[in-house]
Structures are given as structure tokens and as C-alpha cells.
Amino acid sequence: MKYLIVGLGNIGDEYANTRHNIGFIIADALAADLGVKFVTDRLASRAEARYRGKTVVIIKPTTYMNLSGKAYRYWLTVENIEVDNSLVIVDDLDLDPGLLRLKTKGSGGTHNGLNNIIEMLGNNEFPRLRVGIGNDFARGFQVDYVLGKFTKQEEKLFMERIPVAIEMIKSYILSGATNTMNAFNNK
């Protein structure tokens, strides 16, 4: 059985350690945990690992956030992976910083990466791990906030939450969405 884990973010040093790149940060941590490294491939940086008898393909799209759906759909097709065996890791303004929620479907809201995936798939029924980044910004400053660097306090919080996100991803691979949601979503 094969799984596709997709960390959303933007490529380039100017986006490193920004709230919008938490998907990339968690994908990097997962790859390190599984002992694999990313290589540049078509539309994404890609790593492949084995985890408890399952193949795990991890990608970080190089298409920039607004075209994430192109890389996601491409790798689903190339790897012959069903959407139900994929997981998109995404920042979420509607959740408090560090809060982690697994969902199997939902709207993209104001998130251009999710909206592009919905557009490319033709529906909103794909699993996603929502990582709360909060919404502590003045009206009209959403872009500055999501593309802003973590504060020292946020950085400390997220470093504590990343291992939990990895546990959730591994649980998703081994036990599925429902069991993972029941075990982690309200903690």
C-alpha cells in the first residue's frame, strides 16, 4: 500500500520559517524521522520511505502555494495513489497556533493552496492535516501575517507540536482517518 503526504508551502529562502510554510516544515521533519532526503523531481521535491510495510511518498510542491493542486494531482497520478491514501499538510488561520486537526474534506476558505487543489481535483474531498497558525493580525494584513516569520514564542510552540504532527501522520498511514481523528483531534 502506498501513501502520498503533501506538505504545502512556498519555495525560496524568503519563505523559510514562515507561518505559510508549516506544511514544508512538517514534511521535512517527517522525512528526517523516516531517514530519507528530498530530491528535486517534477513539480516537487520528493522523498520516498518505507514505514511498517507501507510506501510513503512525501512531496513539497515547487509550484508555489497557489498552484499546489498541479503537483498534488500529478503525483497522485504518477504514483497511482488514491486520494483517500493522501494527506495534505496545511496552515490554518482559523485554528489557534499549534492546534492540529485532521479532516477528510472541507472548503478551502481563504487558503489559495487548498482552493487550487479543490479546483484541480474537482471536489473538496481529500484528507488534510490542518495546522493552526492563529489570526493575530489587523484587518487587511492577512498576507503579511501568513508570509511572516514565526515569533520566538511561536517557534518554540511549533517545535513542540511537530512531533505530534508526525505521530498523527503515522497514525493516519497505519490506522486511517477516523481512528486518527478520534485519537488526536481533541487533544
Q: Which of 20, 70, 130, 170 is catalytic?
A: 20
Cell readout for 23 is 506544511
Distance CA 28, CA 47 (A): 9
Cell readout for 35 is 531517514
Q: What is the pLDDT of residue 140?
A: 86
Cell readout for 30 is 517527517
Convert the pLDDT of each residue in 120-131 to its tens digit: 999 999 999 999
Q: How is domain 2-184 classified at the architecture level of CATH?
A: 3-Layer(aba) Sandwich (3.40)
Mark whether 111 is an active-site residue.
no
The ranges assigned to domains in the chain are 2-184
Going through the chain in order, the beta strands assigned E by DSSP cover 2-7, 39-41, 44-51, 54-61, 86-92, 100-103, 128-132
Considering all CA atoms of the chain, what is the largest pairwise distance in Å, rounded to the nearest integer?
48
Q: What is the pLDDT of residue 109?
A: 87
Convert the pLDDT of each residue in 131-184 to its tens digit: 999 988 888 888 899 999 999 999 999 999 999 999 999 999 999 999 999 999
Cβ neighbours of residue 107 closer than 8 Å, sequence gap 6 or more: 114, 118, 124
DSSP 19: G
Whether 60 contacts 9, CB under 8 Å: yes
Query: Can you give the pTM of this predicted structure?
Result: 0.96
Helix (H, G, I), strand (E, B) or coil at 109: coil
Q: What is the pLDDT of residue 122?
A: 94
Q: What is the pLDDT of residue 63?
A: 95
Convert the pLDDT of each residue in 12-29 to its tens digit: 999 999 999 999 999 999
Convert the pLDDT of each residue in 71-86 to its tens digit: 999 999 999 999 999 9
